[in-house]
Amino acid sequence: MALHKYGHFSEDGREFIITRPDTPAPWVNYISNKQYTGLVTNSGGGYSFYICPKDSRISRHRYNGLPWDRPGRYVYLRDEDGEFWSLTWQPTPSKKLDFYECRHGMGYTSIEQEYKGVRSKVLYFVPQDDDLEIWRVSLTNKSEQARKFDVFSYVELTLGHALVDLINQPNDQHFNVVKFDKANDFLYATKNYWVTYRGATVKQPNQAWNKYVYFASSLPVKGFDGKKDAFIGNWRSESDPIAVEEGICRNTEITASDPCAALQNEITLQPGETTEFVILMGIVDREGYEQSAPPLVEKYRNLANVDAAFAQVKAYWDEYLSVAQVETPDQEMNVMLNTWAKRQAWVTFHMHRTAGYYHGGLLFGTGIRDQSQDLLGPLMAEAPEVGDRICEVISHQFADGSTLHNYFRLTGQGEKTGHSDTPLWLPLAIMSYLKETGDFEFLKRVVPFHDEGEGTVLEHLTRAIDYPLSQLTPRHLPKFGPGDWNDTLDYVGREGIGESMWVAEFLCFILRESTDLLTKIGHTEKADQYRKEYDQIADALNTLCWDGEWYIRGTRDDGKVIGSHTNEEGRIFLESTTWAVISGIAPEDRANQTMDSVYKHLNTARGPKILHPAYTKVDPGVGLATRCVPGKKENGAIFNHPAAWAIMAECILHNGDRAYEYYRKTMPCIQAYDPDIYRMEPYVYSEYVTSPDHPTFGEASHSWLTGSGVWMYRNGLDNILGVRPTYEGLFIDPCIPSAWDGFTFTRLFRDAWYEITVTNPSHVQHGVASIEVDGALIKGQTLPVFAEGKHKVTVIMG
Residues marked active site are found at 487
Half-sphere exposure (CA, 13 Å, Cβ side) for 324? 28
Q: How big is the chain by its Cα radius of gyration, in Å?
A: 27
Alpha-carbon gap, residue 752 to 447, rounded angstroms: 30
DSSP 704: S
Dihedral over Cα of 525, 527, 533, 536: its sign? negative
DSSP 288: T
The SS3 assignment for 745 reads strand
Helix 640-652 and helix 656-666: axis angle, to 10°?
A: 160
Cβ–Cβ < 8 Å for 76, 151: yes
DSSP 157: E
Question: What's the Cα-to-Cα distance from 255 to each of 174, 207, 671, rounded to whole Å?
Answer: 7, 16, 50
Question: What's the Cα-to-Cα distance from 274 to each of 75, 146, 217, rounded to whole Å?
Answer: 17, 12, 17
Alpha-carbon gap, residue 547 to 545, rounded angstroms: 6
Residues in the chain: 798
Half-sphere exposure (CA, 13 Å, Cβ side) for 237? 14
Calculate ∠ Cα 467-579-461, nearest 5°: 30
Alpha-carbon gap, residue 93 to 238, rounded angstroms: 11
Cβ–Cβ < 8 Å for 48, 208: no
Q: Are strands 611-612 and 572-573 parallel, antiparallel or unpaired?
A: antiparallel
Alpha-carbon gap, residue 252 to 223, rounded angstroms: 9
Cβ–Cβ < 8 Å for 530, 517: no
Element (H, E) at 521: none
Alpha-carbon gap, residue 520 to 587, rounded angstroms: 26
**What stretches of 311-371 adopt beta strand conformation (E)?**
324-327, 366-367
- Provide the residue type at 791 as one letter: H
Alpha-carbon gap, residue 408 to 173, rounded angstroms: 24
Alpha-carbon gap, residue 611 to 635, rounded angstroms: 7
Alpha-carbon gap, residue 397 to 429, rounded angstroms: 14
Half-sphere exposure (CA, 13 Å, Cβ side) for 256? 6
Q: Are strands 554-555 and 561-562 parallel, antiparallel or unpaired?
A: antiparallel
CA dihedral 262→268→273→277, nearest 10 degrees, is -30
Half-sphere exposure (CA, 13 Å, Cβ side) for 265? 23
Is the peptide bond preceding residue 67 cis, with omega within 30 degrees of 0? Answer: yes
**What stretches of 633-685 adopt beta strand conformation (E)?**
638-639
DSSP 77: E
